[in-house]
Structure formats: structure tokens, C-alpha cells
Amino acid sequence: MAAPLARVIRDGQDQKIPAAELVPGDLIVLEAGDFVPADARLVESHSLKISESALTGESEPIEKSADAQLESNTPLAERVNMVYSGCPVVYGRGKAIVTETGMNTEMGRIAKMLDAEEESSTPLQKKLAQLGKYLAIAALLICAAVFVVGLLSGMELARVFMLSVSLAVAAIPEGLPAIVTIVLATGVTKMAKQNAIIRRLPVVETLGCASVICSDKTGTLTQNKMTVVGAWVMEGDFFDPFVNSGEEVKRMFQLASLCCDCKVEMIDGQRKEVGDPTELAIVNAAEKLGYSQVDSQSTMPRIAELPFDSDRKLMTTIHNIGGHLMAITKGAPDQLFARCTSGDIESAKAANEAMGRKPSGCWPWPFARWMPSPIRSLLLK
């Protein structure tokens, strides 16, 4: 997870060096797409957002600020003036002073904890060890009893000894390990058919004993990606944009992709996405509808912009479209509604509330657009 190279300013010169050569006190430069090479204190930030999901489990990018003044005991997830090793920069840019490197970073402390963790035995291994102990004790007691009874009955010492040893060998279940291994291997095969890969055989039995499983789903059971599942336009209709989208919806996504700073590139046949998850979802939706962000930007170039910030809660870009200037704004609904000068604002507010109430974030039925207007209005309320 460590960044192989770090962009650092030394002796007044901007240069790239191996991240392993960083030392506390170095001034590093961060831009969208970079991985933070070491723990550092921000000294300059411009709309900087960093994804700390690998460190804190927080799925949304964290907005960082070099001007924040925090208490020394501030929890890790709330230290907005710090950046941490291994976390990717998804938006903006900044500069920071390195404070910790290597195993002294927060990610390094997690690595130490993992190395220090002792591997415990599974319930099956404990039960088999207990069974082996019971069998050994029982075999010794029975062999001792047979040995004594044999001597008392007048049998020769050598013959009684060989009989006792043979009995002890026969009491040991040599086939048990092989049978247990075969049964567990069968379980692993069945789990593999369900797309669950088991690394250690005894874990199969342990998993079968589980009645409740608690898991952090973000990035573990999911891909930690956002996807557009619904759209709404001023006609008052909800759309699945990839099933029944009209020209208005397609145009909306094309313009929305222009108001995004994320990057989607193909490098060595691999798709590389860099940027804010919300913006990536918009750009990917526009691509599915046939509008490439790169092509749209070439025909409708960006003239100026107002970057997103926590105070304004909006991002605005100005484009030259067919010789005319157009401002495209995206952001928090409450801020957008307050700036609108035309259109059915009440219906837009109702649609926003309706989408927010749905678990999936949109109407689950693509045919909602064909519902009678009174019913649709009632559902919106």
C-alpha cells in the first residue's frame, strides 16, 4: 500500500524520490491520484480530500484543512489537518510536513499489531487435541490393566508386554487425521463453488459453527464505489437512466460530467479511476449513456471554475458551448434550491426527499414515469 515515489521539495527544488528515503521534516506535495507516502501535518491545502477507508473504515473522502486547530487528543478520524500514509488523494492538492515514516506511521502501527497477533487454534483443532489426550489416557490405563491381569494369570512377561503394546497401537485412530482432512477439503470445495475462498482448512468447521457474523461491509463485501441508480427531471418523472432515459436525462448527465474533476483513463489495458466517488459515479453514468467526459470537454471546454468548498457546498464550472457561456453547478440541494430563479422548485424538493427516503436512493420501478400524475404527486408527498 505504500507509495513507491514521493514528490518532495528539498533545497527549494521540486523533485521525486523513493518514499523510503523520506525523513521527518520533509515537505511533500500532494495532488489528486497520489498516495500519501508518510504521516504528515498539512501546511497548505486547496479543496483537498483524502480517502481514509483503509485506515478508519470511513467510505466517504475526508475534506482536509491546513488551517484547522485541534486538541492533542483528537480522535484519528477527526484529524483534518493531518494526512496518513497509504491513503489516496481523491481531490484537490496540498503540501505537508512529514512527521512519521515507516513503521512509526499509523499504518505501520496496524502492521505491528498484525505481526504480534498470535494464531489461535480453531474449535475443531481444540476438540481433536482433547480427543487425542483422552484416547492416550484411556489406552495407557487399559494397557496397564491388561499387563497386570496377564501377569496374574501366569502369562510370560515378554508375551504380556507385546500384547499390551499391540493393544496401545490398535487404540490409536491412525485414520482420523486423514478422514478429517478429506471432510474439510470437501467443505472447501463446496465453499469455492459459492465464490468463498478458504485459506486454512480448519476454518471451514469454525465458519459452520457461526450463528452471527459482524462485518464492515465498505470495501470488504462491496467495491467501495458509488453508482447512479436513478434520475429526475423537471417533468416530475423518475428514471432508471440506463433503461428508459430520455434526451433530457442524457443531456443532464453530459453536462454534469463537465462539472467533475475526476479522471478515468485506460493504462496498459486497465481502467484507472482517480477522483471523488460521487464524481466518478456521474462520469461513469454519462459514459454508459454514450457521452465520454474527454470528448465532451473537447467540444465544450472549461473557461473558469469555482472549486467545491465546505462553506459554499457547491462546485461551479463555466463552459464555452456553441459560442455561448454556460455555468454548470452541482452540490448540496439546499444550496442549489436557494439559488434557483425559475422552474418547479417545490417538485424538485419533493423529488429529492422521495429519493432520500428510498433504501436504493431512487424509485425501484422504471415505469414510474407512466403513472398518472395525481398518483405520482401523492407518492412524492
Domain boundaries, the chain: 5-116, 123-201, 231-380
Q: What are the CA-CA distances from residue 75 to residues 48, 79, 104, 129 (Å)? A: 20, 7, 17, 44
The stretch 255-269 carries a mean pLDDT of: 84
In whole angstroms, give the CA distance from residue 229 to residue 221.
19
Q: pLDDT at position 38, please?
A: 92
Give the per-residue pLDDT at 152. 87
Rounded mean pLDDT of 125-143?
A: 87
How much is the pLDDT for 60? 80
What number of CA atoms fall less than 13 Å from residue 299's CA on the CB side?
A: 9
Most confident of 212-226, 229-243, 297-311: 297-311
Count other Cβ atoms within 10 Å, centred on residue 206.
14
Which of 308, 306, 355 has the alpha carbon at shortest distance from 332? Answer: 308
Whether the Cβ atoms of residue 45 and residue 65 lie closer than 8 Å to each other? yes
Band of residue 190 on the pLDDT scale cut at 50, 70, 90: confident
Burial bucket for residue 62 (CB in 10 Å: 0-12, 13-18, 19+): buried
What's phi and psi for 223, nearest 5 deg?
Answer: -90, 0
Contact (Cβ atoms closer than 8 angstroms) between residue 189 and residue 198:
no
- Active-site positions read 216
Give tens-digit pLDDT for 284-293: 989 888 888 8
CATH class of the structural domain 5-116: mainly beta
Residues 6 or more apart in contact with residue 1 via CB below 8 angstroms? 35, 54, 86, 107
Q: Which residue has the cell 484507472?
A: 272
> Around Cβ 266, how many Cβ atoms within 10 Å?
8
Q: Three-class SS of residue 25? A: coil
The Cα 241–Cα 238 span in angstroms is 9
- Return the bridge partners of 62, or none: 50
Q: What is the mean pLDDT of the chain?
A: 82
Q: Is residue 147 a contact partner of residue 161, using CB atoms and an 8 Å limit?
A: yes
- 3-class secondary-structure state, position 357: helix
Predicted local distance difference test score (pLDDT) of residue 361 = 44
The C-alpha angle 11, 15, 18, rounded to 5 degrees, equals 110
Q: Are the beta carbons of 345 and 276 closer than 8 angstroms?
A: no
| Contact residues for 221 (Cβ-Cβ < 8 A; gap 6+) | 215
Residue-wise pLDDT for 234-245, tens only, equals: 765 666 666 666
> Could you tell me which CATH number the domain at 231-380 has?
3.40.1110.10
Strand ranges in the chain using DSSP code E only, listed in sequence order: 5-10, 13-18, 27-31, 39-50, 62-63, 82-83, 89-100, 231-232, 238-239, 263-267, 270-274, 302-306, 314-321, 324-331
d(CA 143, CA 162): 10
